[in-house]
Structure 1
């Protein structure tokens, strides 16, 4: 099966790097699925979304991503995020509390709600 190299980094750290067979991400213009050999693409990531990376070894990694860019060449995907959190690192109770606070507050706005929802989706808790 064809493979590509994927690097997902945030401002703070490298989140994931390795060989992949598929990447799914949400950009500001819609969802994009990337297979090896994909047409070169540069896209802005949704402000609060989820990225899934299917590794060549058959495992899948889900990441909550807040802002950034996706760069695709036929054999490489770079995801440069402002903030990213692996699904297993997400504190679901804290994310639910953040969602509740965003719902109760007029000041926090839609962005805080979207970030909390993305974290819950990535953790499989929504």
Structure 2
């Protein structure tokens, strides 16, 4: 099965990197699925969403991301975001509290965090 190099990088750290067979993300112009040997592209990600990476070693990786870009080149996929949390890093109870925030950005990110953690918002 074909593989590609994928990196998920937030402003403060590299969140995940490795080999994958598929990447799914939501961009400002629609959903995109990236397979190995995809044509090069640059897309802006929606503000608070979930990215899925099908890792060859770890299975499905889910991350809640905020803002950023997805870049596909011959060398692989780079997902560059303002912030990101992997499924096992998400504090589900805090995300549920954040759903009640007066700040719309906090509420949107809370919904993304809950979806990435496998919980309905």
Structure 1 length normalisation: TM-score?
0.91
Separation in 2, partners of 1:74, 1:36: 9
Rg larger in structure = 1
The equivalent position to 1:119 in structure 2, one of 109, 113, 116, is 113
Separation in 2, partners of 1:88, 1:68: 21
Could you tell me whether the CA contact under 8 Å between 1:90 and 1:123 is conserved in 2? yes
Shift of 1:114: 1.2
Unaligned residue ranges in structure 2 (runs of 5+) = none
What is the CA deviation profile of residues 34-87 of structure 1, one whole-angstrom value per residue up to 9, with x for unaligned ones?
Answer: 000101110011100000100123611100000011000244000001000001
Q: What is the aligned residue count?
A: 120
RMSD: 1.1
Structure 2 length normalisation: TM-score?
0.94
Q: What stretches of structure 1 move > 3 A for 4+ residues in a row?
A: none
Task: Look up the SS of the partner of 2:88 in the other structure.
Answer: helix
Task: Look up the SS of the partner of 2:36 in the other structure.
Answer: coil
* Equivalent in the alignment of 2:90: 90
| Structure whose residues are more often helix by fraction | 1
